[in-house]
C-alpha cells in the first residue's frame, strides 16, 4: 500500500514538472499572444519602403528606306531599325527592289547588331515595286489561307536567313471590315511562326487633323494588337484632311488628339499602352502643293537656327515641319501617357549632329527617369 502511494505521488510530481516545462518551452497560441501583448511598444513608426520598379525600355524606332547609305545611320541612338520595304505579291511571294537593297539590308544588320540595335524588315508600304499603291497586292496576298500561308512562310524564311530580329507590317490601309479580318488573320499567323522574334505594325493616326474626329474609312480589329510588340502610329500627313493645308502635317495639338484616341482604345480593350509608339515626321510640307516635300536635313542645312521653329520660307514657299522644341514636347506627351516610345519616318531624311531629331529624341528619352515608384 505504501509503495503504491509512493509511486502515485511520483507520477503526479513528474506530470506537474513536465507540464510546467512544456508550457514554458513550447507555449500555446494564447500564451504567445499574451507575451507579445506585454512587450513594450516602440514609438517609432515602421515605414514601408517604396520599391523602385524598372519600366520597359523606351524604344526609338527609325524607319530606313532600302537605298540609304548604311554608314550614315545613327545606330547608337536607335533601339530598332526598320528596313523599308519588301513588297508582297498577290500570290504570296516577297520582292526586294534589286540586289543593292539586299546588300544594304545585310550591311545594316551587321552594323546594327554591333551596337545591340535590332533590325526589322517592313512589309508593304504605300507604293509597290510593280507600280501604284501596294494595297491591292497586299490585300490579295492575305485574303486567302493559301496565299497568306505562302507569304507568312516566305517572310519567316527571310527572317531566319538574314538573321533579322523581326517584321514590321505596313498595310496601307485596311478599308473595310473584311480587310481588317484579313489583316488580323495575317498577324496571328505571322506571330505563330516568328515565335520569339518581334512583330510590329504601322497604323494610321485614325484622327482627322481638322475636325479632331475618328477616321472611319480605315478599320482595324483591336484584338489583333495583342499579337504585336509595337504599334507604330503614323501621327503625320494630316495636311490631306479636308482642304490641303501644310500646317496640318503634324502639329502638337493633332498629336494630343491621336494619343488620346489610341490610349483610350487600348485601355478599353485591356491592351498594354507600352505597345504604342508615337511617330514623328522628319520631312517638311510645302504650302504650295506643286512643290515637293523637303527633308528636315535640308531645312537644317539651310540654317541650323531653323531647328528652333516649325516653319520656314525656302524655295519660294513656306514649309511646315517639326522642330526640336515640338519634338521634345511630343516625347513628353508620349511618355506621360504611358506609351512605349517614339518612331521616326525616316532616318534618311534626318539632319546630322546636335539638331538631328533622332539625337533630340534619344536624349529626351534618356533624360526621363525610367525608374518609377509605384
Q: How many domains does the chain have?
A: 1
Q: Which among 349, 285, 282 has a CA at the least distance from the CA of 317? A: 285
Residue 49 lies in a domain: no
The kind and range of the H/E element at 264 are: helix 252-268
Rounded to 5°, the CA angle 98-351-341 comes to 85
- Domain at 290, CATH number: 3.20.20.80
| The pLDDT of residue 56 | 60
In a domain, 63, yes or no: yes
The answer to the question of residue 135 being in a domain is yes
Between the alpha carbon of residue 347 and those of residues 283, 322, 343, 359, the distances in Å are 10, 14, 10, 11
Q: What is the largest CA-CA distance in the chain?
A: 131
Tell me what pLDDT residue 369 has: 56
Question: Which residue stretches of the chain have pLDDT < 50?
Answer: 1-55, 370-374
In a domain, 374, yes or no: no
141 touches 173 (CB < 8 A): no
Sign of torsion over alpha carbons 148, 149, 154, 155: positive
Q: How many CA atoms, within 13 angstroms, populate the side-chain half-sphere of residue 257?
A: 19
Q: Which of 84, 67, 89 is nearest to 232 (CA)?
A: 84
- pLDDT at residue 308 in the model: 97
The answer as to whether 330 is a domain residue is yes
145 phi and psi angles, rounded to 5 deg: -55, -35
Residue 185 lies in a domain: yes
pLDDT digits 0-9 by tens, 92-107:
999 999 999 999 999 9
Give per-residue pLDDT as tens, 75-134. 999 999 999 999 999 999 999 999 999 999 999 999 999 999 999 999 999 999 999 999
CA distance 309 to 3: 112
**Distance between CA 258 and CA 235 in Å, rounded?**
7
- Does any domain span residue 47? no
Residue 57: its pLDDT value, please?
86
Three-state DSSP class for residue 42: coil
State which residues form the domain around 173: 55-368
Contact assessment for residue 164 and residue 109, using Cβ atoms and an 8 Å cutoff: yes
Total residues found in the chain within this entry: 374
Q: What does the pLDDT look like over 196-223, one tens digit per residue? A: 999 999 999 999 999 999 999 999 999 9
- SS3 at position 84: strand
**For 286-293, which contacts have Cβ atoms below 8 Å and span 24 or more sequence positions?**
286/246, 286/315, 286/317, 286/318, 286/319, 287/246, 287/247, 287/317, 287/318, 287/319, 287/320, 288/316, 288/317, 289/244, 289/246, 291/315, 291/316, 291/317
pLDDT of residue 315: 87
Amino acid at each position: 500500500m505504501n509503495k503504491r502511494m509512493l509511486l502515485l505521488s511520483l507520477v503526479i510530481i513528474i506530470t506537474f514538472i513536465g507540464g510546467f516545462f512544456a508550457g514554458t518551452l513550447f507555449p500555446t497560441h494564447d500564451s504567445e499572444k499574451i507575451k507579445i501583448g506585454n512587450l513594450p511598444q516602440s514609438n517609432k513608426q515602421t515605414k514601408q519602403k517604396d520599391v523602385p520598379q524598372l519600366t520597359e525600355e523606351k524604344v526609338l524606332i527609325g524607319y530606313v528606306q532600302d537605298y540609304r547609305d548604311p554608314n550614315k545611320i545613327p545606330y547608337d541612338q536607335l533601339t530598332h531599325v526598320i528596313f523599308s520595304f519588301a513588297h508582297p505579291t498577290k500570290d504570296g511571294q516577297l520582292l526586294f527592289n534589286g540586289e543593292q537593297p539586299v546588300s544594304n539590308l545585310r550591311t545594316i544588320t551587321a552594323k546594327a547588331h554591333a551596337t545591340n540595335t535590332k533590325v526589322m524588315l517592313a512589309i508593304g508600304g504605300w507604293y509597290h515595286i510593280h507600280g501604284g499603291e501596294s494595297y491591292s497586292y497586299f490585300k490579295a496576298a492575305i485574303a486567302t489561307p493559301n496565299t497568306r500561308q505562302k507569304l507568312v512562310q516566305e517572310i519567316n524564311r527571310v527572317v531566319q536567313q538574314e538573321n533579322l530580329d523581326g517584321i514590321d507590317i505596313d498595310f496601307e490601309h485596311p478599308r473595310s471590315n473584311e480587310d481588317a479580318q484579313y489583316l488580323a488573320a495575317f498577324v496571328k499567323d505571322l506571330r505563330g511562326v516568328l515565335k520569339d522574334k518581334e512583330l510590329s505594325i504601322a497604323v494610321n493616326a485614325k484622327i482627322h487633323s481638322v475636325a479632331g474626329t475618328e477616321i472611319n474609312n480605315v478599320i482595324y480589329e483591336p484584338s489583333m494588337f495583342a499579337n504585336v510588340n509595337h504599334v507604330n502610329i503614323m501621327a503625320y500627313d494630316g495636311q490631306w484632311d479636308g482642304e490641303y493645308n501644310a500646317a496640318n502635317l503634324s502639329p502638337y495639338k493633332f498629336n494630343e488628339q491621336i494619343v488620346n484616341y489610341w490610349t483610350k482604345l487600348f485601355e478599353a480593350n485591356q491592351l498594354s499602352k507600352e505597345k504604342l509608339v508615337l511617330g514623328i515626321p522628319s520631312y517638311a510640307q510645302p504650302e504650295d502643293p506643286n512643290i515637293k516635300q523637303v527633308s528636315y536635313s535640308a531645312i537644317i542645312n539651310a540654317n541650323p537656327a531653323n531647328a528652333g521653329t516649325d516653319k520656314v520660307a525656302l524655295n519660294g514657299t513656306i514649309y511646315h515641319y517639326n522642330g526640336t522644341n515640338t519634338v521634345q514636347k511630343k516625347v513628353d506627351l508620349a511618355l506621360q501617357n504611358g506609351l512605349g516610345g517614339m518612331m521616326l519616318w525616316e532616318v534618311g531624311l534626318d539632319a546630322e549632329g546636335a539638331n538631328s531629331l533622332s539625337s533630340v529624341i534619344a536624349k529626351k528619352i534618356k533624360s526621363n527617369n525610367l525608374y518609377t515608384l509605384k
